[in-house]
A and B are shown apart, each in its own frame.
Chain A
Amino acid sequence: KNQVEQSPQSLIILEGKNCTLQCNYTVSPFSNLRWYKQDTGRGPVSLTIMTFSENTKSNGRYTATLDADTKQSSLHITASQLSDSASYICVVSAKGRTYKYIFGTGTRLKVLA
């Protein structure tokens, strides 16, 4: 069964600290993996899209990694800010399954001053 699991479910860190969020998937055959940020009461906003051949991608203070062999991805947030408080959602799509995106349940991050 195609699944995307994220950990931890929730995380609290102090402003300025770094953190890493994890995503494990069993989607096959793999096409791409996306990380989204979802602020409370808003729709998800794309942070990165990674294909099979990419193992690192950065977007400002956000760096995503992908290990297609172990089917794991991580999202590293550097020097966290209060505005980073949000849910972070990992989404995996399967090759050949057009429009089939498997969403993880997200990690809820809270950054405290």
Chain B
Amino acid sequence: NAGVTQTPKFQVLKTGQSMTLQCAQDMNHNSMYWYRQDPGMGLRLIYYSASEGTTDKGEVPNGYNVSRLNKREFSLRLESAAPSQTSVYFCASGGIGMNTEAFFGQGTRLTVV
């Protein structure tokens, strides 16, 4: 029962470098999300995908791009990392409907120096 799997768990980048955070779920969920969690703040939605082939901006999309590669995988790309993107990133997936449960990955701790 893998659930939602994120890679990598930790990453240190230099300012201006690029990287892709990977996320895969094995629960056949349509919806997938990327959040960031910063100290003293609630999780904030970066991008989401309601279904395979669709993506939409969330609350804080600037500096990020996403790809819904297939129903299982949803990746988050930082094209030119900035220190303000230092955060813990969580991928989540959920079924259809407002009252369905969302399942979160273990998180990726990203530091941009």
Contacts and interface: CB of A to CB of B under 8 A. Distances in A.
A43 B98 contact: no
Contact of B40 (A4, A42, A105): A105
B43 A41 contact: no
B31 A43 contact: no
Interface residues of B, number: 24
A104 B99 contact: no
A98 B92 CA distance: 15
A89 interface: yes
A31 interface: yes
Contacts of A102: 42
Contacts of A106: 42
A43 B42 contact: no
B106 interface: yes
Interface residues of A, number: 24
A103 B92 CA distance: 14
A61 to B, nearest CB: 19
Interface stretch (B12-20, B44-52, B62-70, B71-79): B44-52
What DSSP secondary structure best describes chain A's contact surface?
strand
B107 A101 contact: no
A105 B38 CA distance: 9
Nearest to A106: B42
A51 B44 CA distance: 22
Contacts of B90: 43-44
Contacts of A95: 98
A50 to B, nearest CB: 9
A32 B58 CA distance: 19
A64 B98 CA distance: 19
Given A32-B99, A49-B101, A99-B33, 10 more contacts: A41-B107, A43-B4, A46-B102, A51-B99, A89-B42, A98-B50, A98-B98, A99-B31, A103-B42, A103-B44
7 contacts: A41-B106, A43-B4, A44-B43, A44-B90, A51-B99, A93-B98, A100-B45
Interface of A: 4, 31-32, 34, 41-46, 49, 51, 89, 93, 95, 98-106
